[in-house]
Each structure stands twice: as C-alpha cells, then as structure tokens.
Amino acid sequence: MTTFHALYGHQPEGEWAAPGRVNLIGEHTDYNLGFVLPIALAQTVRVQARRRTDGRLRLYSAQGDGSVTELTTEDLAAGTVTGWARYPAAVVMALVEAGHRVGGADLLFDSDVPTGAGLSSSAALECAVAVAYNDLFGLGLGEQELALLAQRAENRFVGVPCGVMDQMASMCCRAGAALYLDTRDLSARQVPLDLAGAGLRLLVIDTRVKHDLADGAYAQLRAGCERAAELLGLPALREVPLTGLEEALTRLPAELRPLVRHVVTEDDRVRQAVALLDAGDPAALGPILTAGHASLRDDYRVSCAETDLAVAAAVAAGAFGARMTGGGFGGSVIALVTADTADAVAGSVTEAFREAGHAEPVIHHAEPASGARKLS
Ligand code: GLA
C-alpha cells in the first residue's frame, strides 16, 4: 500500500478511526424517534490527515481505484462529487454550512468495514472525517454533535434520509457495551455486554446481497411512518404506546398498519433486550432477535430470501436467535450462539446457502468495540 508521504509529499498530522456497527435490536425505529441498541465493530475506517491552506480537499482510498480525487471549494458548493468521495465531502460541507471555520485537507483512507453489507461503512467514513476535522481545526465539538453533523451531511449532501443510529453508534459506542440510545433526545446509556465472558458469540453473516439505501425504498418507508404519525396526530410513532397499538391501528389505512405495528413492537423489543442485559442474561436475547426478524420480514417487508434463509438456518442449527441487522433488503444477519456451536452454526448457514444456489456468505463474529477515536 502507498504511504501518505508518497501520495502527498509530506507527513500526516495524525490518524483517526471510526468503526462500523451492528444493531442488536431496534431497526427502523430511529427516524421514528424510538430506541436502538447497537454495538461498534472492531472493523474501522482509518484516516490519516493533514490540513491544507488552499481550501482544497484531496482524497485517496486504499480500497479505491488508485487515483487521488481533488476537490475545490467550488466542486463542494456545486454538489457534483460522486462515488465514495461524496461522504467525506459531505462532512466538510456540513461543517462549513454550520459556520465552522474549516479548510481543506489531504486525506488517506483505509478501511476493513465491508461496504454494502449493512454494517454502516458510510457512517464510519463520515465519522472518521468528523473526528479528524474536529481535532485538526480545533472545533471542540462533542461526540453527539459530531454524530448529528455526520447525519446531516448524509441527509443533505448525499441525499439519504437516514436516522441518527449509525453515526451515534460509530461515535459513541464503547468496548464491552451496547449503546442503549433514545433517539428522541439522544440520551444514551452504555449497557455492559461481555459476550465472550458469557460463553457466547455474535455471528455476523454477510449475505453479500448489496442494497443501496439511496435508491428510494428507505425514503418511502420513512415517509409512510411520518404519514402514519401525522394521521394519528403525533410528532412521531415513538409516541404510540404498546397498550394503545391496536386502537391506533384502527385509525389508519390498511397499508400503513404493518409499518406502525413493526415500529411500536420493535421499540418494546429494545426495552425487553436492555432489561435482559441488565439482568446479566444475554443468551435470553435470542427469541427477541428472531421475533424482530419476523416483524421486519412480515410487517416492515425489508427482508429478502437470503436474509430469511440465514436466520432460519442459524436458528435450525441451534442459534438462540437471529435477525437481519441494518436497513435491510440484503446486508448482514446477526446470530447469537454459544462459543461451542459457533463453527457448526456458521457451517450450516454456509451449507444452506450452497444448497439454495446463493453466493457463499462471509461469516465473522463481533464483540462490542470502541467508538471513533484518534489513533496517533
Ligand atoms: C440504516 C439507517 C439508520 C437506520 C437503519 C434501520 O442503517 O442509516 O439510520 O434507520 O437503517 O434501523
């Protein structure tokens, strides 16, 4: 791999990292101002960076096509940036728009967060740039402010109307804990989660079905939820209590009811999951995960044949529970298993994929890792 010096002719001022995430439970709840429970992955986007005085942004990715993308302030303003460079460019634009005095920079990225796998590689990229800029330009912003800024960057300058979960996870997660986040006021609690200590493994099964959230399905689902909240006279679906769900459904058109049922029951599953983790019983999360998947499959309809098969095969092979994680339409499935059975469950899922004629899934496992940070 090339070095920063070889590319840009000087040394970086520092190196920063931001992780991808898996969400344990709480899917499609964030833009409904509900609850989520993600963990950060050990896989990160790393960025080496040095400030420039001419306002230009030069970007290079070790996973890219070998070229340096050079952007001027005019390119940023015109919004004509394409490809992966949109994400770092969007963060710089969001900083400028928010009135921060930032300039250009030379940036070199390297990442082991798989892209298109539902593991938030884009949020990791955004958050890596956000922490690097925060330090380099002495902005003094806190983790939460940086996460909101990265979300705004994606909403406004990439065009994906995502919620705040991925950016909050990448910024605020801690090793050994899941982040219990209330997305209405961003109050958060680190819930201790020691999978290895409990003799457990969390398999992350990348189905290799890629789905681009920018293609409109996500935006439509979000719009459906907002419409339902409006019809119910509420600011967001988070305000529908579980006990009031049935009555609320009678006041909605048939096509919106499954969306609301998913969101309201999913918020409840997050609360149940946190109670079990607080009680020191992570294995008991299993049935909640599988119920969450059924809700995503049958009510929210963001599942696909491969994610359904991975869940079914993992559970049939003895997993405590399994579910699709992230936005959906492909991406990754998590499965909670004992350390002893992890290899056998992974083998069964791989075999089921082979029999069904699907591409071989990529299976690894996750322990709650650290959020964004300066490396050197
Ligand atoms: C994507 C979005 C998140 C969240 C999830 C679904 O990852 O970026 O904000 O909505 O989908 O839970």
From the first residue on, what is the mean pLDDT of each consecutive set of 10 residues in the chain (376 residues)? 95 98 98 99 98 96 96 82 94 96 97 95 98 98 98 94 98 98 98 98 96 79 98 98 98 98 98 98 98 98 96 98 95 98 98 98 98 98
In the reported structure, the alpha carbon of residue 27 is separated from the centroid of ligand 1 by a whole-number distance in angstroms of 7
Q: Cα separation of 348 and 343, whole Å?
A: 9
The Å distance, Cα 10 to ligand 1 centre, comes to 38
Tell me the best of 24, 119, 148, 166 to mutate to test the pocket of ligand 1, counting ligand atoms within 8 Å of each CB and taking the most. 166
Whether 166 lines ligand 1, by a CB cut-off of 6 Å, is yes
The continuous run of DSSP H or E covering 257 comes out as helix 257-278
Residue nearest to atom 11 of ligand 1 (CA): 327
Pocket flag, ligand 1, residue 329 (CB < 6 Å): no
Collapsing DSSP to helix, strand or coil, 157 comes out as: helix
Could you tell me the distance, in angstroms and rounded to a whole number, from the CA of residue 222 to the centre of ligand 1? 10
**Chain position carrying tokens 């006990």:** 243
Residues with Cβ within 8 Å of 22's Cβ and at least 6 positions away in sequence, in order, are 38, 39, 41, 119, 202, 204, 325, 326, 332, 334, 366
DSSP structure string for 190-242: EEE--TGGGTEEEEEEE------GGGSHHHHHHHHHHHHHHHTT-SSGGGS-G
Q: Is 133 in the pocket of ligand 1 (CB under 6 A)?
A: no
Question: Considering the entire predicted model, what is its pTM?
Answer: 0.97
Q: Which of 196, 173, 215, 194 is nearest to 38 (CA)?
A: 173
CA of 77 to the centre of ligand 1 (A): 27
Q: What is the pLDDT of residue 317?
A: 98
Q: What is the pLDDT of residue 213?
A: 61
Atom number of ligand 1 nearest to Cα 222:
10
Residue 94 in contact with ligand 1 by CB distance below 6 A: no
Q: Is the torsion defined by CA of 309, 193, 146, 58 positive or negative?
A: negative
Query: Ligand 1 within 6 A of 27 CB?
Result: yes
Structure tokens belonging to residue 289? 């995960």
For ligand 1, the distance from its centroid to the CA atom of residue 15, given in whole angstroms, is: 27
Cα 326 to ligand 1 centre (Å): 6
- Concerning whether 166 is annotated as a catalytic residue, the answer is yes
The alpha carbon of 164 and the centre of ligand 1 are apart by a number of angstroms equal to 8
pLDDT tens for each residue of 7-59: 999 999 999 999 999 999 999 999 999 999 999 999 999 999 999 999 999 99
Q: For residue 38, which amino acid is it? A: P
Instruction: Give pLDDT, residue 238.
Output: 98
User: Does ligand 1 lie within 6 Å of residue 327's CB atom?
Assistant: yes
Residue in this structure with the two tokens 């990754």, named with its chain if needed: 332
Nearest to 191 by CA among 284, 292, 286, 279: 279
Indicate if ligand 1 lies below 6 Å from the C-beta of 31: yes
Question: What number does the ligand 1 atom closest to the CA of 31 have?
Answer: 10
pLDDT score, position 214: 52
Residue nearest (by alpha carbon) to ligand 1 atom 5: 327
Exposed, middle or buried by CB within 10 Å (0-12, 13-18, 19+), for 246?
exposed
The active-site residue out of 54, 65, 106, 166 is 166
Q: Which among 28, 125, 225, 266 is the best mutation to test ligand 1's pocket, defined by most ligand atoms within 8 Å of the CB?
A: 28
* Predicted pLDDT of residue 166: 98
CB 20 less than 6 A from any atom of ligand 1? no
- Among protein residues, the one with the nearest Cα to ligand 1's atom 2 is 162
